[in-house]
Amino acid sequence: PEELGGHFLGLLTGPESGLLGWRTDARIKNLREANPGVLEKEAGLLVRSTDDLPVALETFVIATWPVLSEGQEKSLPYSESRNIPSMLLAFAHPAEALGINTEPLSKIAKALTGKSLFGWNPLTAREYDETLSFAESLFDIFKEWGWQPRDLWDVQSFIWVVRDKVEPIQPDPIADPEPT
């Protein structure tokens, strides 16, 4: 799994990718150099796992969290615990997995549903399962609209395009009065 995981991490962080941004790419490179084989092995196990995707993702997060969080105590890398494994899964399973870019996805989910998908913690199986349900709902809506989405990368693309154009749902003061 280490060789396969190394190839997937190379796709994710290579110069042509840009999915994670240059800071995260550089951080992953440094983590790989400081902890040879650890991320590679877990990435390989993740993309080849036969577990449900949320379970496989959480297994990766649990196994890599000590490496990801080392030296980051003042600013724990929760976003990296979301984007690294979810993007790896999206490469391996584009029809079933959504790659997470935390800020745009959180903004769209909050605007459309009124609730947050993530807590201040490493990504959990439950959170990823809810993320996938949200993405699948969008995918189904796109099909209803006749947009012909191919996979969840089309959902990801939609999220990235509209992220700066949405306004959060405002509570209806009559239907949702503030508690007294």
pLDDT for position 180 = 44
pLDDT digits (tens, 9 = 90+) for 66-125: 999 998 889 999 999 999 999 999 999 999 999 999 999 999 999 889 899 999 999 999
Q: Which two tokens stand for residue 13?
A: 């962080």
Judged against a pLDDT cut of 70, whether residue 179 lies above it is answered with no
Rounded to whole angstroms, how far apart are CA atoms 1 and 135?
A: 28
**Nearest-CA neighbor of 118 among 155, 149, 76, 161?**
76
Residue 11 is predicted with a pLDDT of 87
Question: Over the stretch 22-41, which tens digit does the pLDDT of each residue have?
Answer: 888 888 898 999 999 999 99
Q: Which residues, 6 or more positions from 100, have their beta carbon under 8 angstroms from its beta carbon?
A: 82, 83, 86, 87, 123, 131
Pure H helices in the chain: 2-13, 22-34, 38-48, 53-69, 78-92, 102-113, 125-144, 152-162
- Percent of the chain past pLDDT 70, that is, above it, reads 92
Measured distance CA(42)–CA(58) in Å, rounded: 11
> What confidence score (pLDDT) does residue 174 get?
55
pLDDT of residue 54: 98
The 10s digit of each residue's pLDDT in 122-174 is 999 999 999 999 999 999 999 999 999 999 999 999 998 887 776 655 555 55
In this prediction, residue 167 carries a pLDDT of 65
pLDDT at 73: 87
Q: How long a stretch of residues is the chain?
A: 180
The reported pLDDT for the residue numbered 133 is 96
> Long-range contacts made by residues 162-168, C-beta under 8 angstroms, separation at least 24?
162/108, 163/103, 163/104, 163/107, 163/108, 166/107, 166/108, 166/111, 166/112, 167/111, 168/110, 168/111, 168/114
**Measured at the alpha carbon of residue 123, what is the angle toward residues 117 and 125, in degrees to the nearest 5?**
85
- How far is residue 138's CA from residue 122's CA, in Å, rounded to a whole number? 24
Cα 99 to chain centroid, rounded: 4
Report the distance separating Cα 180 and Cα 159, nearest Å. 36
Query: Is residue 39 a contact partner of residue 31, using CB atoms and an 8 Å limit?
Result: yes
pLDDT of residue 27: 87
